Amino acid sequence: MLTTKTANVLMRNAVSGTSRPNSNATLRAFLGSDETYATVLLLIVMDTYGQEALEWSPATIRMQLEDDFSVPLPDGNLDKIMAAITIVTTNYFYQDPVRFVELCNILSGDDAEHDEFDPADVSEILWGISESFLLWPPEKEDDAYDTKFSAEILEYIRQTLTEEGFLKAPDILGVSGLDETSFVRDTWSDDPEMYQAIYELHQHKMQDMKFFLHSNFRDLHQQLKVLPMAEGNKEALMKRISAGEDHVRSTLSQ
């Protein structure tokens, strides 16, 4: 059976093209690697078992994958699969602030904390929203309740951004109504040096987050590129990821 360390090596080799394992070996490497994104894991489950897998319990999904691929499934990967299923079958990510935080953490690679609240930081929020948008794009209609963030979630995002030194949400997320620029400018109107320092900190953090997202989009795209699929069509998803990469790249050049 694959250890997580061995699986990570095989997965990186497959992505980089330094080795050419067969399809089953590639799938086993993805399932056994803690570096695999939730999107890739969900595609493997759906391509192998179909829509009915969305209704399976975590124990059933683990048993099926481990039996069929002869690989121990890391707890974190089972968490990612269940998080992805939650995102595509419920509106918890958009309407329940506790589940929103939990899902952001899991998509970012943290272990699920069911007994205590583990706050999601800005980077976890950014990637959680980015990957959830890939899995289940928001509706365009103004009354799209299922994919429109609740006031409580928007307030959590705003407070987290403020605590970490951001003046507004990175525009690549399309989360509107989160702008503290005027408030900070008015607060420090009699101390322009302090305002400048706060603004420069914000700019530095924005650049860090844009590089972070660009790296994640690139790595996810590479994983999808080598993912063997029997039935599913990954082309539309890869196009959305490429669009996200292009958007990040354009904002980095500004």
List, for residues 129-174, the tens digit of each pLDDT value. Answer: 989 988 887 766 555 556 788 889 988 988 888 888 887 777 665 5
Q: What is the DSSP string of 205-219?
A: HHHHHHHHHHHHHHH
Residue 132 is encoded by which pair of tokens? 């959830």
Which amino acid, 17?
Answer: G
Mean pLDDT of the chain: 81
Q: Residue 244, Cβ neighbours under 10 Å: how many?
A: 22
Counting as low any pLDDT under 70, the low residues of the chain are: 1-22, 112-115, 139-146, 171-178, 180-186, 230-234, 236, 240, 243-254
CA angle, 215 then 44 then 16, to 5°: 40
Report the candidate in 4, 46, 51, 11 with the shortest Cα–Cα distance to residue 27: 11
3 state SS of 101: helix
3 state SS of 118: coil
- DSSP bridge pairs for 15: none
CA angle, 226 then 5 then 17, to 5°: 25
Q: How far apart are CA 111 and CA 125, in angstroms?
A: 15
| Tens of pLDDT, residues 53-79 | 999 999 999 999 999 999 999 999 999
DSSP collapsed to 3 states, 145-174: HHHCCCHHHHHHHHHHHHHCCCCECCHHHC
Q: Evaluate whether 229 touches 237 at the Cβ level (below 8 Å).
A: no
Q: What is the model's pLDDT at position 28? A: 93
Residue 227 is encoded by which pair of tokens? 């993912």
Q: List the end-to-end C-alpha distance of the chain, in Å, as a whole number.
A: 48
> How many CA atoms are closer than 13 Å to the CA of 92, on its beta-carbon side?
17
Which amino acid, 111?
Answer: D
Whole-model pTM above 0.75? yes
- DSSP bridge pairs for 168: 179
Report the candidate in 87, 88, 107 with the shortest Cα–Cα distance to residue 213: 107
Q: Evaluate whether 36 touches 223 at the Cβ level (below 8 Å).
A: yes
Whole-Å CA distances, 25 to 5, 181, 186, 228: 15, 51, 59, 10
Q: What is the model's pLDDT at position 148? A: 82
